[in-house]
Structure 1
Amino acid sequence: MKQRTRRLMALMLTASMAASGAAVSVAAADDPYKQAEAAADDPYKQAAAADDDPYKQADAAADDPYKQAGAAADDPYKQAGAAADDPYKQAGAAADDPYKQAGAAADDPYKQAGAAADDPYKQAEAATDDPYKQAANADDPYKQAEEASDATDAIGGIVPSADAKYTISVTEDGWIKVENEDGDTLGLAADSAVKLLEADGYAFKDMNQNGELDKYEDWRLSTEERAADLVNQMQGEEMAAVLTHGGWGDFTTEPLAEDDGSYTYLMQGGRGGVTRNIKQGGTAHAKWANAIQAVAEQSFYGIPAMISIDPANISGLVETLSLASTMDTELAAEIGQETAKEYRAAGVNALLGPQVDIASPIMFRSGGTYGEDPQLTLDIATAYINGMQSTYDENGEDLGWGDESVYCFTKHFSGDGSTEGGRDDHANGGRYAVFPGNNLEAHLITFFDGAFNLPGKTGTTGIMTQYGIDVDADGNPYGGEWAGAYNTYLNGMLDEAGFEGLKITDWGVYQFAGVWGAEDLEEADRIATSWENGVNLLGGYSDVDTAKAAYGVLVDRDGQDKADEIMRAATEKFVAVMMNLNTFENPYVDTAYADTIITTDGSSDFAKEGQRESIVMLKNDGTISADGAASEKPTVYVPYVYNTGWSATWMSGISEGTPTWTPGMDIDKLSQYFNVVTDTLGDPTGEADAEGNATYTKDDLTRATADEIAACDYVLVGMTNAYATSYESHLSGAFGGEPVSDDVEEVWYPASLQYGEYTADTAREVSIGGKTLEDGTKENRSYKGVTAHEVPNYGDLEALQYANENAGDVPVIVSMKMERGMVWDEVEPLADVILVNYNQQREDIVAEVILGQTEPTGLLVFQQPVNMEAVEAQLEDVPRDMECYTDAAGNTYDFAFGLNWSGKIDDDRTAKYTAEPLTKVQNFDYSAYEAANK
């Protein structure tokens, strides 16, 4: 068949299918293809003889209606012995051509030379009788040969009718954009197998490529109706594949090749994964996201991909602790809105966050939280999430879900802020979250009273399960020895409360982290168990075959009906979320716009406002003020700091690392504000590393002299808070592991919030958490009497000590990067000014404060302990229960403390957040639930 004829035939098929959606009404008696009483005369639709229908032969090559190798003789358009390229003129087989049989012209409804009046398609004098419109009519979808060129004809597989209420264009990015009047905007790839359908003048995407407008493809219907329709079309294994969330392959700005990991995963049915590449730039990331969606569109009902992200501080917007330190809910809402706009511009549609755990002072992952107070976390998280999930019009009106909405998976449900010893919950060492104050309910407040009870139109969020096992004061686990992804006690709470959001697991819970309680199960059985207990999406999981096998486990264990019920409920939630985000209609983004809204090098002006609000001044002896600096461009000494590189992490285990010398702050940034004096770093002279390169030693740096320092206006020491993580001596890394066998001695080390060595003489004698061992005894994870060595960045303190010793009368300013509390008695006496930057050093804002251009307004979001004994005495689950450090000026570094130019800040924020910590949930009767289920 000629290429042009193929296009026209495709147009005829597409328009005919669109007509079934009420585009054109045709009288059956006049239509030789649709005569209900004479089906036998219709060579294309003889219900009793489907085998003779060249377009519907179930056992033939279903993907090619024009080439069915086993039934070529039955195809009036392709008979091997005839002129195959001409369906209307096959010289050797005229008798087989129902449209041109020379000896039976009377039977040909299309070419009866003497009976033109009987031809319903070509009656020159009775054009109004032509149900498919006349050749002279430009609206005829079957004959626009002159109007449409090969390059532009049938964009999206359709030519709009005369009554079309939509326009079709091709964007500069190459995807097709369809704009419906007073309706949704559609997007599809230019080379997509998905085509457009027209119904009632509107355009729709034929996402499952069946030629019909299914309910789930009809954007006019409710999300609930659409989601139910789609899920009811899916098989159990298909749903299992869609519920994985473990992509992607390599980052690329090119269309995905068939051997690309993302392509393979999507074609298997995978529909989600986290991106780590947004810092590649707005345009680059948007191109990659469009490439992902173009492949997703081709298979599995055209379900778009969920591209998630961990909080990424995009464009310099403050998040987590920095945002919390502003204690400004209006700013939180604005940053939520702006962050969502930028994420969506880059093609991201889901946030793996925010992290609303109520953090203990020594929690390993505290830097991703909003601090230790339930009320503050509740307020900031609610405002931020509400701003992020809703789309707003130009007047700021909340429109609910829309094109600028990002779905939030608040994490971690619930209690991971109280890991015993503050240990990293990715690894076996952080297996237990403990509640010695029996205060688990306080850790539910941010969920039930905030994330699940939003003031805006989106109502609620999703959740991410926790890794740990929650244990009460007596060591009894809530819901048994099961981590969050499997725990019926935690998931039952959500069911009891009528939670309707989407539930995703944290990463690795079927393989290495948070698998606690399910270690003895096969991987597919672990997945099935988590599905049974309420999980929906498999976070970080991309093994589609095993996910399908897990569905089989469900069927074997629970029966077909129950298994399908579980899968439908989960899948319906997922597709409903993606429909609410409008990705079913248009998952594509404008790459040029992405670069105009996202700042990858530096910070936006709006971001700078948040950064200025977040900086906390703990100490000021009068060195800095609104009066400005000592000179127009002061001279500052910025020392280098040494780091041993030592670490103990779940990824790498215990590592000696590679020593480094780096300036305590970014000298290039500071040079815009100051004349900078610094130290001189020589060549490394230490032992070779694994690559054979020499490493640095402490002797490889030459400090600035006392005279050089004395000639400066200020000493500016950049530091990172002291923190040594608690870990076990046999931490092997990648990926955690079981407790060592009984005959192997295990040593547990304390966390430390001071730079120098710390021996935990006042720690618990017996840990609260601990697994029952093979001999029936309980594992003791106590670190009492064990010494934590110097922190890897002890060089920060050494740099401060050197500066202080040589500063003379030059004021010493400390700029401390922090992610938790710390013991200040090593640092505070050596500094005249202390500024705190949560999450990251912000040299430009620090410079503005020193120069008197910005007044500090931030407040502490963690108590600062007087010593490590105070840390050991506090209860992990009880906020703000420590004795705090008091400095030389008599100021106590308590929660919500901070200074401005006038002294200690005392305002509406401090009045609200220094009230007694919240302990009770308002929107869920936890006491009744606990009594009935513990």
Structure 2
Amino acid sequence: MASALWRREDGVTYRDLNKNGKLDPYEDPRLPVEARIEDLLGRMTLEEKAGMLFHTGLGMNPDGTLQEGDGTFGRASTTELVTRKLLNHFNVWAVADPRPMAEWYNRLQALAEGTRLGIPITISSDPRHSYSNNPAASLFAGRFSKWPEPIGLAAIGDEELVRAFGDIARQEYLAVGIRVALHPMADLATEPRWARIAGTFGEDAHLAAHLVAAYIKGFQGENLGPHSVACMTKHFPGGGPQKDGEDPHFPYGREQVYPGNNFEYHLIPFEAAFEAGTAQIMPYYGMPVGLPFEEVGFGFNRDVIAGLLRQRYGFQGVVCTDWGLLTDHRMGDRVLSARAWGVEHLSLEDRVLKALDAGVDQFGGESCPEVVVQLVRSGRLPEERLDVSVRRLLRDKFRLGLFDNPFVDPEEAERVVGQEAFVRAGEAAQRRSIVLLVNGETSSGRTLPMREGIRLYVEGVDPQVASRYAQVVDTPEGADAAFIRLQAPYEHRDNLPLEAFFHAGNLSFPEPEQRRILDLLRRVPTVVQIYLDRPAVIPEIARESAALLADFGASDEAVLDVAFGRHKPGGRLPFEMPSSMDAVRKQLPDVPCDSEDPLFPIGHGLTL
């Protein structure tokens, strides 16, 4: 889509963003970025500056038209947000196919061109490339190439592969207009009950540091530029050591604890992210307990943002809060409370002031710029404080080339997203990430690889896929062997919005499910494949399995290829597998690899 604002003057082609018929400094691609920022900042009204400070969600229609909703959660009015509230940072959830998504993005940029200064839109996204069976992930999948979860990339442990993944994901994002990755997660999986382990690179801080750096380089390149996707590394200063493993999306999980005095260990991957040049940082929801910091959520925490992040590490990029710190959000007939941990008693205005005083530049998942405007007009907030953050936000827009040409080619989007080479690379990574935990003895040798053409009973596997490897039978009694896929156990919760998507709580299979699984394992030699979005306590299953494999996001074809010897397993566990829930409860949530007598140690993995 061509811009309606292209002009040519003094031998330079530019977009006349303020529609005044002349080349102004902020429109001039020849000038240094800092000069363009200062010119534009001097032209901005208070309302335009305030709009920059909010980064909320935005939907799209399947045909690529703009979504003009009724204002409820996930159904905001695009025109109102862009032209009245003057927001120009949005994250996308459910997406259309590549061509209509690219067309939607171009329509959105055309809408932004119509605003007074024509400031372009920045689109962000959570991860979209993981092969996952979590229903929440289906919102993000689309037609992008499918890879193992980041924890699966850690099981491979190959920096070059992670950088190659980042480069492929960058190309697919870029094709449809996504310019900020709300990832990677530099958190550490030191608390095995935590629900977000799948998004981490495991519990070894040094391995995670190498992979986080490679990931950022893949998305951003050596320097942020027009062909980059900026990374918003999260969740500073590390969201892993949760009390009882609960997540601070919810009130009962708001506390982060460090009984092992191991706070510094969790900073190691973030130090690698700074060295790699991460453009942006997201603090987590949690509030630190037992540290020399104020006991308020990290997004409100001056000790952490202004002190640790800005002063100690000298980070001068954008700091954006995690989503929903300021206001409650309605989801259908239910309300998701603001995650204002430690400052629940503060008014909306005072929460905004406290976060800005802490050093935050932008509020994720919020769209109330009128509050900022009122704070400035009342004299409670200096406009100069807004200028500090707006400069940072504009700097990334300029460095990403959005002011010069934000539009994408829908035909290129159709060609790039999910192209065959990218799909093959993701599928190969799925296979490489699979870990062989147990390979039992049989009368003729080891259980794996299985012999093709045998009579096979399957559960959790598409029988049509399995039939390419074996003769699928309906009952265990008629089988030579069985192959079953399991999901790591978790407690089913859905009392609060989003809660069902967080696999938390007990790591053991409950009865009667465990009894049912063990009964099958004792009736027929069974290969068990378990999806580990976090560790599992499965000593009985490991003992009774003919063979035990772990995956971190892989298709049926990928796991059966490994089971039948078409691909050799090579992954290594990126975390410990505890031997009991008593051992889990005795662990220190901030300390890695401290499980008593683990079932499988970190790094375990057999070969064929």
Q: What is the TM-score with the length of structure 1 in the denominator?
A: 0.58
Instruction: Map Cα deviations across residues 423-478 of structure 1 (whole Å, 9 max, x no partner).
Output: 02111111100000111111111112x11111xxxx33311111011112xxxx54
Q: Does 1:671 find its partner at 2:467?
A: yes
Shift of 1:200: 2.5
Does 1:505 find its partner at 2:321?
A: yes
- What is the match of residue 354 of structure 2? 529
Distance 2:285 2:173 in 1: 27
Tell me which of the two structures has the higher relative contact order, counting C-alpha pairs closer than 8 angstroms and 6 or more residues apart: 2
Task: State the secondary structure of the residue aligned to 1:557.
Answer: coil
SS, match of residue 228 in structure 1:
helix
Q: Which residue of 1 aligns with 2:517?
A: 800
User: 1:754 corresponds to which letter in structure 2?
Assistant: S
Name the CA shift for 1:347/1:669 in 2 (closer, same or farther; >3 Å). farther
SS at match of 2:539: coil
Match of 1:361 in 2: 192
Letter of the 2:187 counterpart: D
State whether structure 2 residue 417 is matched by structure 1 residue 598: yes
Contact 1:309 1:352 in 2 (8 A): yes
1:718 aligns with 2:481: no
The answer as to 2:176 corresponding to 1:462 is: no
Task: Pick one of 389, 395, 401 that aligns with 1:576.
Answer: 395
Contact conserved, 1:816 with 1:841, CA < 8 A, in 2?
A: no
Shift of 1:799: 4.6
1:894 aligns with 2:597: no
1:762 aligned residue: none
Identical positions, percent: 32
How many angstroms does 1:257 deviate by? 7.3
Residue pair 2:457, 2:482 contacting (<8 A) in 1 also: yes
Q: Give yes or no for contact 2:302–2:357 (8 Å, CA) kept in 1.
A: no
Distance 1:667 1:263, change over 3 A: farther
Give the letter for the 2:287 counterpart. I
Q: Distance in 1 between matches of 2:470 and 2:369?
A: 56
1:333 to 153, 160, 163: 163
SS in 2 for 1:382: helix
- 1:518-565 deviations in Å (ceiling 9; x for gaps): 22222132112211221111100123333433444xx5224xxxx222
Measured at CA, do residues 432 and 877 of structure 1 come closer, stay the same or move farther in structure 2, by a change above 3 Å? same
Corresponding position: 1:411 with 2:234: yes
Which stretch of the first structure deviates more once superposed, 197-206 or 596-605?
Answer: 596-605
User: In structure 2, which of residues 205, 209, 212 is the aligned counterpart of residue 381 of structure 1?
Assistant: 212
Q: Deviations 1:744-781 (Å, cap 9, x if unpaired)? A: xxxxxx9321113xxxxxxxxxxxxxxxxxxxxxxxxx
Change (3 A) 1:850 1:732: closer
Question: Is the 2:58–2:93 Cα contact (8 Å) retained in structure 1?
Answer: no
Aligned partner (choices 434, 450, 458) of residue 257 of structure 2: 434
Residue identity matched to 2:244: G
Cα distance 1:871–1:536, how it changes in 2: closer, same or farther (>3 A)? same
Kindly state the Cα deviation for residue 601 of structure 1 after the two structures are TM-superposed: 11
Aligned to 1:482: 296
Query: 2:544 and 2:409 mapped to 1: Cα distance?
Result: 53
Structure 1 CA distance, aligned partners of 2:201 and 2:393?
Answer: 28
Q: What is the TM-score with the length of structure 2 in the denominator?
A: 0.88
Which of 109, 119, 124 is the aligned partner of 1:303? 119
Tell me how far apart the structure 2 counterparts of residues 735 and 320 of structure 1 sit (CA, whole Å).
21
Contact 1:812 1:831 in 2 (8 A): yes
Task: Say what the alpha-carbon RMSD is for the aligned residues.
Answer: 2.4
**2: CA distance, partners of 1:842 / 1:522:** 48
Matches within 5 A, 1:617-628: 617-621=436-440
Residues 625 and 433 of structure 1: is their aligned pair in 2 closer, same or farther, counting only changes over 3 Å? same
Conserved in 2, the CA contact under 8 Å of 1:244 and 1:542? yes
Amino acid at match of 1:245: H
Structure 2 residue 586 is matched with structure 1 residue 873:
yes
Alpha-carbon distance change, 330 to 871 in structure 1, aligned in 2, over 3 angstroms = same
1:614 aligns with 2:433: yes
Q: Which runs of 5+ in 1 are unaligned?
A: 1-174, 177-187, 391-397, 640-663, 679-703, 737-749, 757-789, 887-892, 902-934
Q: What amino acid is the match of 1:557?
A: R
The corresponding residue for 1:283 is 99
Deviation string 1:203-242 (CA, Å, 9 cap, x unpaired) is: 1111111222121111111222211221121122211112
Residue 666 of structure 1: CA displacement? 2.9
Query: Structure 1 residues 286 and 871, CA, compared in 2 at 3 Å: closer, same or farther?
Result: same
Q: Which residue of 2 aligns with 1:915?
A: none
C-alpha deviation, 1:255, in angstroms: 4.2
What does the per-residue CA deviation read over 1:792-814, in whole Å, with 9 as the maximum and x for residues that have no partner? xx63x35532322321xxx3100
> For residues 203 and 281 of structure 2, what CA distance do their matches in structure 1 show?
20
Check conservation: 1:426, 1:513, Cα contact below 8 A.
no
Residues in 1 aligned to 2:359 and 2:392: alpha-carbon distance in whole angstroms: 12
Is the 8 Å Cα contact of residues 251 and 277 (structure 1) preserved in structure 2? no
User: Which one has a larger percent helix, Structure 1 or Structure 2?
Assistant: 2
Q: Do the aligned partners of residues 799 and 243 (structure 1) sit closer, same or farther apart at CA in structure 2, a change above 3 Å counting?
A: same
**Structure 2: distance between partners of 1:326 and 1:431:** 32
d(CA) in 2 for partners of 1:299 and 1:884?
63
AA of the residue aligned to 1:406: V
1:860 corresponding residue in structure 2: 573
Report the AA paired with residue 589 of structure 1. V
- Find the partner of 1:494 among 306, 309, 312: 309
- Whether 2:274 is the aligned partner of 1:452: answer yes
The question of whether the paired residues in 2 share the 8 Å contact of 1:451 and 1:461 is answered with: no
User: Equivalent residue for 1:324?
Assistant: 154
**Cα distance in 2, alignment partners of residues 549 and 610 from structure 1:** 51
2:110 alignment partner, one of 294, 312, 318: 294
What is the rounded CA distance, in whole Å, between the counterparts of 1:600 and 1:504 in structure 2? Answer: 32
Answering whether residue 535 of structure 2 is matched by residue 818 of structure 1, we say no
**For the structure 1 residues 674 and 305, does the alpha-carbon distance in structure 2 shift closer, same or farther, using more than 3 Å as the test?**
farther
Tell me the distance in 1 between the aligned counterparts of 2:573 and 2:106. 42
User: What are the within-5 Å matches in structure 2 for residues 737-776 of structure 1?
Assistant: 751-756=505-510
Contact kept, 8 Å, 2:60 with 2:67, in 1: the verdict is no
**Over residues 42-82 of structure 1, what are the superposed CA-to-partner deviations in whole Å (9 max), with x where a residue is unaligned?**
xxxxxxxxxxxxxxxxxxxxxxxxxxxxxxxxxxxxxxxxx
2:406 paired residue among 587, 590, 601: 587
Residues 290, 634 of structure 1: alpha-carbon distance in 2 compared, 3 angstrom cutoff? farther
2:369 aligned residue: 544
Letter of the structure 2 residue corresponding to residue 425 of structure 1: P
Q: 1:612 offset after TM fit, Å? A: 1.8
Q: Give the secondary-structure state (helix, strand or coil) at the position aligned to 1:470.
A: strand
**Corresponding residue number in structure 1 for 2:19:** 209
CA drift of 1:401 comes to: 2.6
> Corresponding residue for 1:241?
51
What does the per-residue CA deviation read over 1:123-160, in whole Å, with 9 as the maximum and x for residues that have no partner?
xxxxxxxxxxxxxxxxxxxxxxxxxxxxxxxxxxxxxx
Question: What amino acid is aligned across from residue 451 of structure 1 in structure 2?
Answer: A
Whether contact under 8 Å (2:186, 2:233) holds in the other structure is yes
Q: Partner amino acid for 1:358?
A: L
**Contact persistence 1:861–1:895 (CA under 8 A):** yes
TM-aligned CA deviation for residue 403 of structure 1: 3.5
Deviation of the 1:828 alpha carbon: 0.8
- 1:308-341 CA deviation, whole Å, 9 max, x = no partner? 1111113113341111110100101110111111
Higher Rg of the two aligned structures: 1
Residues 607 and 601 of structure 1: CA distance in aligned 2, closer, same or farther (over 3 Å)? same
Q: Which position in structure 1 is the counterpart of 2:182?
A: 352
User: How is 1:680-699 mapped onto 2 (pairs within 5 angstroms)?
Assistant: none
| Range 241-250 or range 596-605, more displaced | 596-605
Counterpart CA distance in 2 for 1:401 and 1:411 is 18
> Of 457, 460, 475, which aligns to 1:637?
457
Q: Deviations over 1:492-513 (max 9, x none)?
A: 2122122111111101111234
